Structure 1
Amino acid sequence: MMERDPLQMNVEHVNRKTLSKQVVERILHLLSSGQLKPGDKLPTEAEFITILGVSRTVLREALSALETLGIITRKTREGTYFNLKVGSAPFSDMLNLASDNIQAIIEARIVLELGLITIATEKITDEQLEELYETILEIEESKDNNYGQADKRFHRIIALSANNLILDGMIHSLLLYHAKINNHIIVREKEKTVAHHKRIYEALKERDAYKAHTAMYDHLRFVQKKILEGQQEKKGE
């Protein structure tokens, strides 16, 4: 575990008139700048007060907010630590606020999955590739277009293969909404889904980031079109 002299850390001084939100940003900067890593112990309250120039009340408000967001854990007698994995609360809250805005959720999914597929070309394992292909076979063999779970596993395997602690919370939250937005698809086209998934699989197998990105983009735009068409049909009922 990394040990650093708290008083030597490069953290911008906080004006006493600012809110605890700015203290949160300063503490998060320790993580994003690499001065501290996930799992590392944070400075004590007394040290933070000296470093940031804030009152104990403001500091505790900031720490409480970070704990609620799942970013830190405070242990009695042991101190405060950055969690090994960032919690999903911030992203989940935003998704809940936008739960009726299907377009916004689809766009968030596109942005996240296009980034993940690029990372996956470098990190996905042979075992995960095998699991990925198994989901494609399951979709091919499904009856009555009942392949929602296999489709979800396909995207989940790719997302988790990125193996990124910061993104884990976002991935978990977005996958929860995967089924919800897919319920808006009125007419499913299994053959096209299989073709898209095979194209993505082959690109990942070849470790070709450009092909994988393009294949995932085409697939997600296809899904977006189907969902929006379903919404329009429901409005016309």
Structure 2
Amino acid sequence: MTPTSLFEPIGHESLADAVVAQIEELIAAGILKQGRKLPSERDLAESLNVSRPKLREALHALEERGLVQIRHGEGTFVAALTGQAMLPALLSLYGRHEPAFFDYLEYRREQEGFAARLAAQRATKSDKARIAEILQEMERAWREQDSEASRETDIALHTAIVDASQNATLIHMMASIYDLTRQGVFYNRDFLRTIDGTGKELFDQHVGLGQAVIEGDEARAETAALEHINYVEKSFRMGIEQKQREAMAEKRRLLSRSASK
């Protein structure tokens, strides 16, 4: 039977402990991720078929276990479970040192290749529908040259594929990594879109990756993920080399002007 709600009604014999168990299961599976706001107390109690006092009891138990944060006046949120991938000082340091960026890509390449293969094996109908919807939105963003929507759909696609791997550890760890990507810590994604003038190559790579997962082609999905990151790495190396050539050319021009005076 297809679920109609994230939460399932609980029988009166279970109550608070069953609420705790159900929310814990959703967190452990990576369905509820850190920072996610839970439904309002009223909606949650109705979905779970429990009284609001019993719901509060369960939420307080989850808070004591460090799994949720109850913010008065704001609601209940899934707690930070994996912590920050890097502290601000290290992020700043990485942002100034190019080798760190390529270490980041190396890590992503291996994890995303693994995730794509698992996703092609394990993706459910819902996972595939989600990926297909993101690809449609990605195409719209590309055609309209909407850079903000392109960035968001890029991260959304990679996240959806990792989620479809059904590997909870991978889901939680990569969520932290994608936060760095969303913050633009390592690079400005817009640069990639300018390489071929339109961003078409980047778009085609994402479509190929998403379709391979949808079609359940494990080898093609893994290869597409690896080749995508290889493209990103190659493109940025080219960009760095071009900047270096331009800097050297400018120094030669300045030296030549100085010598002619």
TM over 0.5: yes
- The structure-2 alpha-carbon separation of the partners of 1:234 and 1:148, relative to structure 1 and needing over 3 Å to count, comes to farther
Deviation at 1:208, TM superposition (A): 1.7
Q: Verify: 1:226 aligned to 2:225, yes or no.
A: no
2:121 counterpart of 1:122: yes
Report the secondary structure of 2:191's partner residue. Answer: coil
Residue correspondence of structure 1 range 189-208 to structure 2 within 5 A: 189=196, 190-208=199-217
Residue in 2 that maps onto 1:112: 111
Instruction: List per-residue Cα deviations over 1:16-44 (Å, max 9, x = no partner).
Output: xxxxxxxxxxxxxxxxxxxxxx7xxxxxx
- In structure 1, the partner of 2:180 is 177
Give the alignment partner of residue 83 of structure 2, picking from 89, 100, 121. 89
Structure 2 equivalent of residue 166 of structure 1: 169
**What do residues 163-188 of structure 1 show as CA deviations (whole Å, max 9, x unaligned)?**
32222331112101224234065251
**1:45-60 aligned within 5 A:** none
Moved more, 93-102 or 134-143: 93-102
**Maintained 8 Å contact 1:86/1:168:** no
State how far apart, in whole Å, the 2-side matches of 1:82 and 1:145 are. 37
1:211 to partner: Cα distance:
1.1
Report the TM-score, using the length of structure 1 for normalisation: 0.56
Residues 82/134 of structure 1: CA separation in 2 closer, same or farther (3 Å cut) = closer
Which whole-Å CA distance do the structure 1 matches of 2:233 and 2:82 have between them?
Answer: 24
The count of residues paired between Structure 1 and Structure 2 equals 162
Q: Supply the distance in 2 between the matched residues of 1:221 and 1:113 (Cα, whole angstroms).
A: 12
Deviation, structure 1 residue 156: 0.9
Displacement of 1:90: 7.3
Which whole-Å CA distance do the structure 2 matches of 1:132 and 1:224 have between them? Answer: 24
Q: CA deviation at 1:111?
A: 1.3
| Equivalent pair of 2:192/2:202 in contact (CA under 8 Å) | no
Where do 5+ consecutive residues of structure 2 fail to align?
1-27, 29-61, 69-78, 248-261
SS in 1 for 2:119: helix
The alignment status of 1:153 with 2:156, answered yes or no, reads yes
TM-score, scaled to structure 2: 0.52
State yes or no: 1:217 paired with 2:217. no
> Is the 8 Å Cα contact of residues 89 and 169 (structure 1) preserved in structure 2?
no
After superposition, the CA RMSD in angstroms is: 3.3
Amino acid at match of 1:176: D
Give the letter for the 1:87 counterpart.
Answer: L
Give distance in 1, aligned partners of 2:135 and 2:204.
9
In the alignment, is the contact (CA less than 8 A) between 1:133 and 1:201 conserved in 2?
yes
> Partner residue of 2:25?
none
Of 156-165 and 86-95, the range deviating more from structure 2: 86-95
Tell me how far apart the structure 2 counterparts of residues 123 and 104 of structure 1 sit (CA, whole Å). 28
